[in-house]
Structure 1
Amino acid sequence: MCHAIPKPSNRSNVKQRQPAMSGTIPDDAVPRASSPQSQAGTDSASAFVKSRKDGRKTTSYGEEEKDLGLPVLEGWPLGSTVFALCLALLLATLDTTIISTSLITIASDFGHFDQASWIIVSYLLTYSGFLLIFTRLSDVLGRKPVLMFSILMFLVWSIGCGFSQTLKQLIVFRALQGIGGAGIYALAYASVLDVVPFRLVSAASGAISMSTACASLLGPVLGGVITSNTTWRWVFWINIPCGVLVTVCVAFLFPNETQSRRLGKPALQQIDWPGILLSLTGSSLLVISLEEGGVHFSWRSLFVVLMLVGSVICFLAFGIWEHVLTPREASMKMLPLFPTRLISSRVVAATLGTVFFTGFPFVVTIMALPQRLQIVNGDSPENAGLHMLPLIGSTALGAILTGTITGKFNIAWHLLVFSNVLMTVGCGLMSTLPTDSEIANLCYLYQIILGFGFGLTMASSMVVIRTEVAMKDNTVSLGAVTQLRQLGGVIGLAVTQAILNGDFRSQLAKFLSDEELRSVMLSTANIANLSDSHRDLTCRAYGRSSNAQMRVVTAFAGAAILMSMFARQNAPRDRKALEAERVAFHTGRTTSVELHSGSVTRINLVHARLVNKIETSSAPYLVDSGGLIETTPREESLATRF
């Protein structure tokens, strides 16, 4: 038996025939379910569609998602879970930067200053390498168990870091802590799409982005405050009470999977082990080479060159393998770590490129601004934090506003371009700061502009990706966003730090002796040992070098603007289309949907599969429980077999 849904010949006919299409579905148009289970699915889906007096049907997935069996939360469990996810993300992100202002104190305790940088490098190695891996593992093993493992991993090794007795112990524990941090960072965004009602997804995503941005900026400040007032070990122990709270919230409030998943041979066979190996190796070699180059090894040394070449080879091999695996994932029963079908979309590819370039100014500013305030302006770590409040506050405001605006208007791409323009202007203005010891009032205005750009960029890029990819690719695409931003930041920091050090050294060589030059380049704390005249000249020289660093950052931010222009969405899916796909993905149940554009979706009831036709202002979509499967306009009718 076959039922066809006729398609209007033109757009105008859609509105004329809308009442007829969206009226009550005749009993003979829907086949009777052949089993109680099928009938239950049909009944619940039918109940989900509310009839109005005028005969039209509309849905409100935000209110009725639980009726369809979606694993969403509401009320205080929802608020508590989102708060826990934000807190977990804040802790994981905080640990990428909080150690920077405590490094000298820790090195003094253990007596190995030449190896102290590995305390940061070890965390970045695993943190950057495992971001994409955890997103795919959660698709195979389930979101909740992988998130719980990540939180416990981060919490246990945070305790271990605090109790470390040697530098080697601390380095190893930091690497293990970074694995848990990567899982938290990657899954916090993905979890929002699972447990938050659709009408609140934009607001929750804004809160998540705000937590990420603020944690990165607060890290150096909080690290300095803790180290100045108590032992450096509390930099890690502070994670314990917060981590316990997060663990309890996720364990008892986070909904279980709608389908049970077990760790066994079938699940392990779905994991892309070659992709994991190549991605992890490439990321590790890249981070090591960039962190060690120009510090312990010359950029032209054999060690750094081999690391960089090895990284390029691994990433090329990774791309080739993923390209081969993606079209064969069904036959090979293996989920690619990064499906190359994502970058076949111009919008997705351009957005990922934009995210990579925005990582440069974000990470560099986090590390460079506190140092400038302390060296040039003579701030203590605490005062440097206070003077960065405009940057922190405007970043949070930008992220929140993005969530609010995109929840009402489908203008994520416009915000992405605008935010990158703001960020570029802010970086350019920061490169013009005066080099005297007084903090110019304009510095606060520049921070507000830059921070607002940061907040808008982080949140809007997530929204563009979410509205562009199919539901089944949401998690892995968001994981790619986080990993590319992190890698962009690491590369940007290495490049600009090398420029700053070279420019600073060349200026100091004009008036300092060789011994004084080596002392200052070893630690900027030794600037205090110089004579008054040399101290003033050195601080001004650092200010000029910092401005040169920000000019390079401005160029990378400008590249982000150009890249974002290619991410223009010609016909982004509206909220109703995304809602329909989400219901299909999680439940397979069916209903009718009225889109914002006024056109109507007619969805036939099938046993456990959704097959529908969504007609927007530009093109129809075919959606099934696996996600968006076709976006090509067609004029023929859609026939559904039963």
Structure 2
Amino acid sequence: MSLSPLRLRLLVASLLTVSILGALDHTIVATSLATVAGELGALEQMGWVVVGYTLASTVLLPVLGKVGDLVGPRLVFLASLVVFLVASLACGFAQDMTQLVIARVAQGMSSAGLHLMSQTIVAHVTTPRDRPKYMSIIGAAFPIAILVGPVLGGAITDYWGWPWVFWINLPFGLAALALAAFAIPHIEPGARRRFDVAGSIVFTLSFVALVLAVTWIGDPAAVTAALVAFVLAAIGFAAFFAIELRVPEPIVPLRWFADRTVAAGVALSAIIGVGLFSVTAYLPTYFQMAYRTTATVSGLVPIATVFGMLVSNLATGWLVSRTGHYRVYPIAGTALGAVGLLAMALLPVGTPLWVPMAVMAVVGIGTGAFMSLVVAVVQGAVPRSETGTITATVNLVRQFGSTVATAVIGGVIGVGVAAALPAGLDASTLTPQLVQQSTPTVQAEVAQLYGGLFVPVFLALAVTYALGIVAAVLLPAGQLSDELEPAAEPTEPTTDPASEPLTA
């Protein structure tokens, strides 16, 4: 579907605005969380404000991807935006934590639709050649949100009050809604097909059980419940895969994994979640404890990482759209990530801070080189009638990998600190401020402890990126097509489409 240049610009502006709002809603709340919990008198339930949002936005990805293919992405996008704005209003008016969590769940559900349909709409209105450029613009929302979200959230909370953390979405969201209603064209949905109700229910229950398990596993009082949840999740996912192999219209199309482009692209997307997204949350703690920096200074390393990701993401999208060649960027990107994380494992504690900043910036540059690109490439490997479904699958594995890897890293750090902490310090009450007030000997022991704990973490993530090099090499070589036409349905696994141009 071809759009005029003006309408395409308005469309991209609308999608970018909404994507930034959805991404900001995940990062902007973090700074105000303690204030919100304190004023609502429910500090022990604080984590559910984040968990509820993340859980809802993840479990609905495959469901909304299939719905978008069945009824058209325009309807799902506009409906999601309306729900997002209503939920934002409800968050600000919440009188207790229960109301806030319910509204946040609604926000998370609608955020999934906004993020997913933005990518799906771009796929429908652009050629495979132009798609990486526009996909990288939409994909810039995530690093922008990480860079400005915490500062913006703190400023709004301090000067306007925490409800405005949510209400700030309304003016920008309404403007984006007006633009989207005009700019998003009607996209003909696929033929009416049977919806995979059983797969949707089983997947949702299984993922909820998994998230509860990884949330509870760090609490000694909830270990039994966590193990039960892990077992239920394992049984549920086994049943889910059995269902998906049998139903005619699965929400996760496993048959497409026989295509080399899809399989390699999905693997690369998972590596981003496991290899980088999982560790960024722990970097400030690592530098506060191991390098004995302040909280403000410790944030410089993740900022350098995300800035590198942002620049690389935009540059790669522009370059691929100019040349049509894409395979070199995932290969180079995963190699940079592996080398950078290996260097982090080898860096001695106490190295000048600019060194790990530069190293993690390299990891960010490597990740940004294929972060949005793999979505565009995979979309071009399937028929247009399944664009939403395959886009959801790519995003789902990234979220899934990030969720599981984050829990594993958190568990490794928690167990390691509790087992080797110097006498006189309690792991349950350990803070950077407490360590900095201790004797130089204790500070040195804690720094050595954290430095030692993160070495295997960085090594494992380096290995993850090294596996990504293999996945990137397996991507078929070729050139993205300039033509906007559907790809053919494969009747059997792809043998070697290396010389075939990708189409959408």
Report if TM-score (shorter chain) is over 0.5: yes
In structure 2, relative to structure 1, the CA distance for the partners of 1:347 and 1:529 (3 Å cut) is closer
Shift of 1:370: 3.5
What is the match of residue 413 of structure 2? 500
Q: Does 1:80 align with 2:10?
A: yes
**Which AA in structure 1 matches 2:464?**
A
- Cα distance in 1 for residues equivalent to 2:37 and 2:326: 45
1:324 aligns with 2:246: yes
Equivalent pair of 1:159/1:237 in contact (CA under 8 Å): yes
Separation (CA, whole Å) in 2 of partners of 1:229 and 1:372: 30
Cα distance, 1:84 vs structure 2: 1.8
Counterpart pick for 1:575 among 480, 485, 489? 480
Corresponding residue to 1:305 among 222, 227, 243: 227
Greater fraction of residues in strand: 1
Among residues 529, 550, 565, which one is paired with 2:470 in the alignment?
A: 565
Corresponding residue of 1:272: 196
- Give the Cα separation in 1 of the matches to 2:94 and 2:151: 23
TM-score for both structures, normalised by structure 1: 0.70
Contact 2:301 2:356 in 1 (8 A): no
State which of 185, 204, 213 in structure 1 corresponds to 2:115: 185
In structure 1, what is the equivalent of residue 258 of structure 2? 344
* Greater alpha carbon shift after TM alignment, 238-247 vs 409-418: 409-418
Give 1:392 shift.
2.7
> Could you tell me how far apart the structure 2 residues matched to 1:229 and 1:371 are?
27
Residues 535 and 207 (structure 1 numbering): CA distance in 2 closer, same or farther, change over 3 Å?
farther
**Deviations, residues 99-145 of structure 1 (Å, cap 9, x unaligned):** 33333333322333222111111111111101111111011011111
Paired with 1:253 and 1:570, the residues of 2 have a C-alpha distance of: 34
Normalised TM-score (structure 2): 0.88
CA contact (8 A) 1:221 1:384 kept: no
Aligned residues: 494
Once residues 550 and 180 of structure 1 are traced to their aligned partners in structure 2, the CA distance between those partners, rounded to angstroms, is 38
Mapping for residues 410-425 of structure 1, pairs under 5 Å? 410-425=324-339
Change (3 A) 1:226 1:575: same
| Structure 1, 304-313 or 467-476: larger mean CA deviation | 467-476
Where in structure 2 are the equivalents of 1:88-487 lying within 5 Å? 88-196=18-126, 199-258=129-188, 270-295=194-219, 297-298=221-222, 301-325=223-247, 329=248, 335-372=249-286, 377-381=292-296, 388-432=302-346, 435=349, 440-487=353-400
Contact 1:140 1:270 in 2 (8 A): no
Q: Does the Cα contact within 8 Å between 1:413 and 1:569 map onto a contact in 2? A: no
Select 1:537's aligned residue among 418, 428, 442. Answer: 442
CA distance in 2, matches of 1:109, 1:542: 35
Pair 1:548–1:632, CA change in 2 (3 A): closer
- 2:423 aligned residue: 511
**Structure 2 CA distance for partners of 1:170 and 1:632, relative to 1, 3 Å:** closer
Name the amino acid aligned to 1:256: H
Q: Is residue 356–residue 484 contact of structure 1 (8 Å, CA) maintained in 2? A: yes
Equivalent position amino acid for 2:294 in 1: D
Which 5+ residue runs of structure 1 have no aligned equivalent? 1-69, 330-334, 586-622, 634-642
Q: Summarize the Cα distance change of 1:128–1:239 in structure 2 as closer, same or farther, 3 Å threshold.
A: same
Of 189-198 and 169-178, deviating more is 189-198
Following the alignment from structure 2 to structure 1, what is the Cα–Cα distance between the partners of residues 416 and 95? Answer: 38
Change (3 A) 1:78 1:628: farther
Higher helix share: 2
Give the direction of change, closer, same or farther, for the CA distance of 1:545–1:181 in structure 2 (3 Å limit).
same
In the alignment, the residues of structure 2 paired with residue 500 and residue 208 of structure 1 have an alpha-carbon distance, to the nearest angstrom, of 34
Task: Describe the superposition over 1:67-121 as per-residue Cα deviations: whole angstroms up to 9, x where unpaired.
Answer: xxx2x32223211211221221222223333333333333322333222111111
Partner amino acid, structure 2, of 1:287: V
Contact kept in structure 2, 1:347 and 1:567, CA below 8 Å:
no
Residues 1:275 and 1:457: Cα distance change in structure 2 (over 3 Å): same
Q: 1:427 deviation in Å? A: 2.3
* DSSP-derived class of the 2:369 partner: helix
- Percent same amino acid at aligned positions? 25
Q: CA deviation at 1:459?
A: 2.4
Deviations 1:1-54 (A, max 9, x none): xxxxxxxxxxxxxxxxxxxxxxxxxxxxxxxxxxxxxxxxxxxxxxxxxxxxxx
What SS does the aligned partner of 1:458 have? coil
Contact map agreement 1:91 1:239 (CA 8 A) in 2: yes
Distance between the aligned counterparts of 1:393 and 1:85, measured in 2? 21
Partners of 1:571 and 1:104 lie apart in 2 by 48
Please tell me whether the aligned partners of residues 431 and 548 of structure 1 are also in contact (alpha carbons under 8 angstroms). Answer: no
Q: Structure 2 vs 1, CA of residues 373 and 103 (structure 1 numbering), >3 Å: closer, same or farther? A: farther
| 1:506–1:226 distance in 2 versus 1, CA, 3 Å | farther
Give structure 2 stretches of 5+ with no counterpart.
Answer: 497-504
Cα-to-partner distance string for 1:491-544 (whole Å, 9 max, x where unaligned): 111010111122223343x23255xx5432xxx3xx535673348835872674
Contact 1:84/1:250 (8 A) holds in 2: yes
Distance apart, 1:565 and its partner CA? 1.4
**CA–CA distance in structure 1, aligned partners of residues 451 and 396 of structure 2:** 27
Let me know the Cα RMSD of the aligned residues: 3.0
CA contact under 8 A between 2:327 and 2:477: conserved in structure 1? no
Give 1:570 shift. Answer: 7.1
Q: Work out which of the two has the higher radius of gyration on C-alpha atoms and give 1 or 2.
A: 1
CA distance in 2, matches of 1:169, 1:116: 12
Contact 1:467 1:573 in 2 (8 A): no
Q: Deviation of residue 405 (structure 1)?
A: 2.5
From the superposition, tell whether residues 109 and 402 of structure 1 become closer, same or farther in structure 2 (CA, over 3 Å): same
Cα deviation for residue 564 of structure 1 reads 4.4
